Structure 1
């Protein structure tokens, strides 16, 4: 049985001070600051609390290099209670990714790579024969509580001479499995004008703020018509920072033209965690404070918005009776140097720092 404990004197992003009482792994009370009772008291005066951060795009299968890392290294150790592996594994290895959850504390879900080999190779869609429709459907059926969508990486280095065909096949698989697509956009061919029209409501464009030539904004920073149309259709925009997919200049254009902030994700793996420019979720979130988004908007992009896309609203709220998944963090008013994927450096004046998590009812300091 998990002990009853209190997170004392924490505050929501609206500055409301509260105590949160956790008992038997669930939120037992959300009450006035200083009034919660429990055998263990964790006083976090001045610290913020939110529902647990959700990272919609990570790579958590360490066996595949260069895109891989340990689950908890990119999860709870950096304030993230739920991660979604973005297509590291196809049908050949998805069972191994599922099994890896047993040794981790961080909640883990996954997008299934439509290529059965996944990221065993970085040109996983260059051979159409690697897309085995029956294996995709079998994996989705077997791990339906784990697989949240299908991943297809539509950039030149991945598809080579296959062109747009992998996405057409993935679109059909999406219809057959009733799962949305997460589509990685990058260098052409195929062109962005070929890719985006094939996406439908509920699908995800990841790397939407990348600075490559084949991006979603014109040379003057104005959103392309295909982006405006996608937003109108209800397509979800995901940051997916990564080594090469986040540009301050493009992000400033998106802010200028009031492109909605859906989800902020890291596309984190060992190299960009250790050497940057990602480092951790808090660092990426700090970049959006620098861009002028409010703390509320930034935190919603890794809590409410992500949880709602996953159709797991309980992950995005602090509500009595729910399993306790929470993130404790501070906002330091001090200069911080921030670097995008193109080496562009900016100096912000506020820095978010993760301090601890409650994951499935267990309190862990970061």
Structure 2
């Protein structure tokens, strides 16, 4: 039986000062600061609290190299209570990824790679025979509590000579499974103006702020018409920072034109966690503070907006009766050098620093600082 404890003197991102009382893994009370009662009181003065951060694009299957990492290294140790693996595994290995949840303290969901190989190789859509519709449909049905969508990486290095055909097949699989698509965009061909019209409401464009020549903005920084049309029909914009998919110049242009992220995600794996430019979720979030997004909007992009897409609104709120799923963090006023995927550098005067999470009823201090 877990004990009753109080997180005292926290701040919501809107500035409200609160205590949160947790008993046996659930939030039992959200009350005015100083009023929460419990057998154990943790003084959290100076810290903000939000619902637990959700990273919509990670690679959490450590057996694959280079795109793999340990779940908790990119989860709770970074202040992230829920991760969504973005297509590391296809039908061949999705059962292994699903089984790994039993050994993790971070909540895990996944996009199923439409290639049965997944990221066992980095050109997984170059051979159309690797798109096994029957196996994908079977996997989606068997792991329907775990798989939240289908992943298709539609860029030159992945599809090679297959062109748009993998995306057309992904669209068919989406219809057969009732699962939305997450589509990785990057270098062409296929040309971005052919890719985006194939996406529908609730599909996700990940890497939408990449600085490659095949990106979603013209030479003057204006959004392409295909992007504007996609937004109008309900396509979801996800950052997916990664090693090669985030440009400050593109992000600044996007903000000028009010093309804002629905979700901020890292595309983190071992290499870009240890060596940059990603490092951590907090480091990526700090880039959006630098860009001028208000704190409430930045945090919503990794809490309520991500939870809404997942169809799990309880993950994006702090409410009595819900499972305790929280992230504690501070804002540190200190010059911090930020690098994008192009080697472009900015210096921020403030950064977000995770302090701890409450996951599965337990308060856990973060081990990773930004």
In structure 2, C-alpha distance between the alignment counterparts of 1:260 and 1:232, rounded to whole Å? 13
Residue 279 in 1 paired to residue 284 in 2? no
Deviation track 1:171-207 (CA, whole Å, cap 9, x = no partner) reads: 0000110000000000000000110000000000000
Does residue 340 of the first structure (1) align with residue 316 of the second (2)?
A: no
CA contact (8 A) 1:90 1:112 kept: yes
Q: How far apart in 2 are the matches of 1:261 and 1:179?
A: 21
Q: Cα deviations across residues 224-276 of structure 1 (Å, max 9, x unaligned)?
A: 00000000010000000000000000000110001132100000000000000
Does 1:85 find its partner at 2:85? yes
Residue aligning to 2:53: 53
Task: Give the secondary-structure state (helix, strand or coil) at the position aligned to 2:287.
Answer: helix
Tell me, in whole angstroms, the C-alpha distance in 2 between the residues paired with 1:16 and 1:213.
44
Q: Equivalent residue for 1:316?
A: 316
Q: Tell me what 1:31 maps to.
A: 31
Give unpaired runs (5+ residues) of structure 2.
Answer: none
The residue correspondences of 1:67-146 to structure 2 (distance < 5 A) are 67-146=67-146
Q: Is the partner of 1:261 in helix, strand or coil?
A: coil
Q: Which residue of 2 aligns with 1:256?
A: 256
SS of the residue 1:230 aligns to: helix
Residue 21 in 1 paired to residue 32 in 2?
A: no
Question: In structure 2, what is the Cα distance between the partners aligned to 1:40 and 1:72?
Answer: 26
Q: Does 1:65 align with 2:70?
A: no
1:301 paired residue number: 301
* Misfit runs of 4+, over 4 Å: none
What is the rounded CA distance, in whole Å, between the counterparts of 2:96 and 2:274 in structure 1?
Answer: 25
Task: State the match for 2:240 in structure 1.
Answer: 240
Query: Which residue does 1:362 correspond to in 2?
Result: 362
SS at 1:201 equivalent: coil
* 1:24-66 deviation per Cα after TM superposition (whole angstroms, max 9, x unaligned): 1110000010110111111010100000000000000000000
In structure 1, the partner of 2:350 is: 350
Is the contact made by 1:246 and 1:341 (CA closer than 8 Å) also made in structure 2? Answer: yes
SS in 1 for 2:129: helix
Distance in structure 2 (CA, Å) of the matches to 1:131 and 1:145: 22
CA distance in 1, matches of 2:261, 2:238: 8
Distance 1:319 1:76 in 2: 21
User: What's 2:290 paired with?
Assistant: 290
Shift of 1:334: 1.6
Give the count of matched residue pairs.
366
User: For the residues of structure 1 that align with 2:2 and 2:341, how far apart are their CA atoms?
Assistant: 42
- Partner residue of 1:4? 4
In the superposition, the TM-score normalised over structure 1's length comes to 1.00
Secondary structure at 1:334 match in 2: strand
- Tell me which residue corresponds to 1:218: 218
User: Once superposed, what is the RMSD of the aligned Cα atoms?
Assistant: 0.5
User: Contact between 1:261 and 1:297, CA under 8 Å: does it hold in 2?
Assistant: no
**In structure 1, distance between residues paired with 2:246 and 2:295:** 20
Tell me the TM-score normalized by structure 2. Answer: 0.99
Query: 1:184: which partner in 2?
Result: 184
> How far does residue 361 in structure 1 lie from its aligned partner after superposition?
1.4
